[in-house]
Amino acid sequence: MPENQDTKRKINRLPLWFRMERASGDVYPKIKNLVEKNGLHTICTSGNCPNIGECWNAGTATFMILGEVCTRSCKFCSVKTGKPLPPDKDEPKKLANAIRIMKLKHAVITSVDRDDLDDGGSSFWAEVISTIKEKVPGVTMETLIPDFDGKEENLDRIIEAGPEVISHNLETVRRISPLIRSRAEYERSLAVLKYLKAKSCTTKSGIMLGLGETEDEVLETMDDLRMVGCEVLTIGQYLAPTKSHMQVQEYVHPDQFEKYRIVGLEKGFSHVESSPLVRSSYHAEKHVKKELS
């Protein structure tokens, strides 16, 4: 067999250290039914998250607002792309009700990009946050937001709504960013995080490994994030959702993830979650506890 074909076959085969909990158990179907009954969406399912079994069985989920169709078409993401429907005006109340029924103490909210809306969906975001705070007193929130094209007035709406953590993912290193991100830009994402930090927000970001980045590039990305005051960092293995998406170039060994975790803490991040199965909302409740302590 030609060497390049053999290499490709090895890359397509998951390494032995990947062990994902099956999406089963008593709690999983209850959450699934609750989400479907209320017409809600989660990034757990839309994003094919490998931790859906562990998280849903633990009674946690990352909700995705503003529909399930994104206006961007990033080469790493499995969320549907196209022309979205108008926002569901009842979604804020539905989501707050689901969080109340689930008895969550911490909720993670994300969304598709809505470049079709004049404000990128930021007003709707603010309504969701405010409604949850009103209907579920005491719940803390992490909001994983889009870049809103870097427009400060849109970011201000999120800030004023007052989530405990505002997260925006850099996704990858500077060199690879234009190859896999649609419309979003590396420098703009850094500018978003810098603006949020300047407004005294607790900020968080995440990157994926296995896209062909070098160790030096990962360390440079860490430095870039620390330069804009980012406090929490998540690092996980990229997994291609389909054959039409950007393909995995390398399965990074857990030892390398651990090395990045240690280096990240040395560089000044307050918390670094780094292992193959980590995703941006993985163990998010620990991040907010650490920042509020």
Does residue 145 carry a pLDDT above 50? Answer: yes
From residue 168, alpha-carbon distances to 85, 126, 147 in Å are: 24, 16, 7
Across the range 250-273, mean pLDDT stands at 97
Across the range 119-142, mean pLDDT stands at 96
Structure confidence by residue, pLDDT tens digits, 50-63: 555 556 555 566 78
State residue 279's pLDDT score: 76
State residue 54's pLDDT score: 59
Across the range 107-113, mean pLDDT stands at 92
Does residue 210 carry a pLDDT above 80? Answer: yes
Percentage of the chain surpassing pLDDT 90? 63
State residue 18's pLDDT score: 73
Q: What is the pTM of this model?
A: 0.86
Answer CATH for 3-206 from 1.10.10.10, 3.30.365.10, 3.20.20.70, 3.90.190.20:
3.20.20.70
Cβ neighbors of 78 (< 8 A, separation 6 or more) are: 46, 47, 48, 241, 242, 245
Among residues 144, 56, 119, 131, the alpha carbon closest in space to that of 92 is found at: 131
**Which is more confidently placed, 105 or 246?**
246
State residue 208's pLDDT score: 96
Residue 151 CA to residue 147 CA, distance in Å, equals 8
Average pLDDT, the chain: 86
Contact 118, 82 (CB under 8 A): no
Does residue 227 carry a pLDDT above 60? Answer: yes
State residue 7's pLDDT score: 46
